[in-house]
Amino acid sequence: MNCLAWNCQGLGLPRTVRAFGEILQEQKPDVVFLMETKLNNIQMDCIKERFNFFGVNIAAIGKSGGLALLWKKDIRVDIQTYSHNHIDAIVFNDSESKPWRFTGCYGEPVQTHRHRTWALLKWLSNKSTLPWLCIGDFNEILHKSEKQGGDVVPNWRIQNFRQATLEAGLVNIGFSGYPFTWTNRRQNPNTIWARLDRAFACSKWNQQFPKARWCETHEDIEKLAINYFTKLFKSGDPTKDYLEIALNAIEARASYGMNQHLLSDFTREEVTKALFQMYPLKSPGPDGFPALFYQKFWNIVGDDVIKTTLDFLNCGILDNDLNRTHIVLLPKFKSPEHISQFRPISLTNVIFKILAKTLANRLKPHMPTLIVETQSAFVLNRLITDNVLIAFEINHFLKHYKNKSVSYMALKWI
């Protein structure tokens, strides 16, 4: 679910309509709240029809104001209350999802009337217990740092806004990108910038949509990452019967001679070879030492490292601290905004890497026999892109095959 709120400051000009279309194409929102449309209902109906939205309109008064709440036609939205400053609705994503509440709010533009907006928030907070998202242009700032230029906003105004959101049970869910959402468009030194647009949510909504919250503190980011990747990589807990069925379907490929070699005791030479095959300056793990340290001072630490390694490989004994790992999140894209746009990697201690490398070296000579020819990933001198070439050649052959007396087909085995 993707929601968009935009103070368009007039949607009657062709360039503004084009800009709106570009925003829709880029952001692909499911629900859109528009403020200051400055359109009557007939004009707004034309906008809805042009961009294929359902919705409700609050007509402008003369050439000012005007609100609209639009939604895609595969989403159910039930309007609850509305005024010239808000539209409140219940959103049903689909038949299986829990409904939640969306309120688009446009704060009173006249400062002396701003108290009406705070009273509206408090009133709306008592209308429903559903998870609640409140988004819009509130025409006020929460912190003095959210305004640059012009007169200083007095503390009592900021406090009134904070108190209203506190009493309504709403929490600012943060933002990403440019810190200001409004400007008076005047030349320096008379330019004023301010952050007037924002999104609030109650605790229930944050729990129902944990990915939507913009996390800023270390604790929030840590909790979000742990919850997301734990759920992503958690085992489905297959039953013993399913495991046996899967294992029975796998053809045994290891010979008696292979097993004898694989199960034989590991040696000092294998451990030493594994260490000196490692890149010297790869990122260190929790111990803080790169492989270069062990390689440089092998004459000092070698005996202890070999004993520790062979204790595990031959006897199954391992100090738990050696298994500690740093999990690092690498961005998949430039300027990531969602936890799903990160890829986790493990930074382990060098001794743990030696264990893994020694095991891999023992298994490596048998890989061509154990791995079938069609397995093209994670095997030396094979590339996963080979499958793409094979699929292309098969499709090309089937498409241009002219002999109808003999039939062929291609199967993908999952």
Confidence of residue 217 (pLDDT cuts 50, 70, 90): low
* Percent with pLDDT over 90 in the chain: 59
The yes-or-no verdict on residue 55 having pLDDT over 80 is yes
Q: Check whether 219 has a pLDDT greater than 80.
A: no
Residue 211: pLDDT band (50, 70, 90) is low
Residue 123 has pLDDT above 80, yes or no: yes
**Whats the size of the chain, residue-wise?**
414
pTM surpassing 0.75?
no
Residue 226's pLDDT band (cuts 50, 70, 90): confident
pLDDT at 384 over 80: no
Would you say 402 and 387 are in contact if contact means Cβ atoms under 8 Å apart?
A: no
Q: Does residue 89 or residue 209 have the better pLDDT?
A: 89
Average pLDDT over residues 118-137: 95
Interval 236-262: pLDDT, tens: 777 888 888 888 888 888 899 999 999
Phi, psi dihedrals of residue 96, rounded to the nearest 5°: -95, -25
Segment 256-281 shows an average pLDDT of 95
**What is the pLDDT confidence band of residue 57, given thresholds at 50, 70 and 90?**
very high
Residue 231 pLDDT: 79
Number of H helices, E strands in the chain: 14, 15
CB-based contact 284:333 (threshold 8 Å): no
Q: What is the mean pLDDT of residues 194-211?
A: 89
The per-residue pLDDT of the chain, averaged, comes to 89
Reported as a single tens digit per residue, the pLDDT across 101-111 is: 999 999 999 99
pLDDT at 266 over 90: yes
Distances in whole angstroms, Cα of residue 246 to Cα of each of 240, 372, 377? 10, 17, 21
Is the per-residue pLDDT at 216 higher than 70?
A: no
CA-to-CA dists, residue 389 to 230, 374, 386, 395, 411, angstroms: 35, 12, 5, 10, 15
Mean pLDDT within 229-242: 80
- The CATH number of 3-232 is 3.60.10.10
Three-class secondary structure of residue 203 per DSSP:
helix
Long-range contacts of 189-192, Cβ-Cβ distance < 8 Å, separation of 24 or more: 189/149, 190/149, 191/149, 192/147, 192/148, 192/149, 192/150
Split at pLDDT 50, 70, 90, the class of 383 is confident
Query: What tokens does 232 get?
Result: 């992503």
* CA 312/CA 316 separation, integer angstroms: 4
From-to residues of CATH 3.60.10.10 in the chain: 3-232
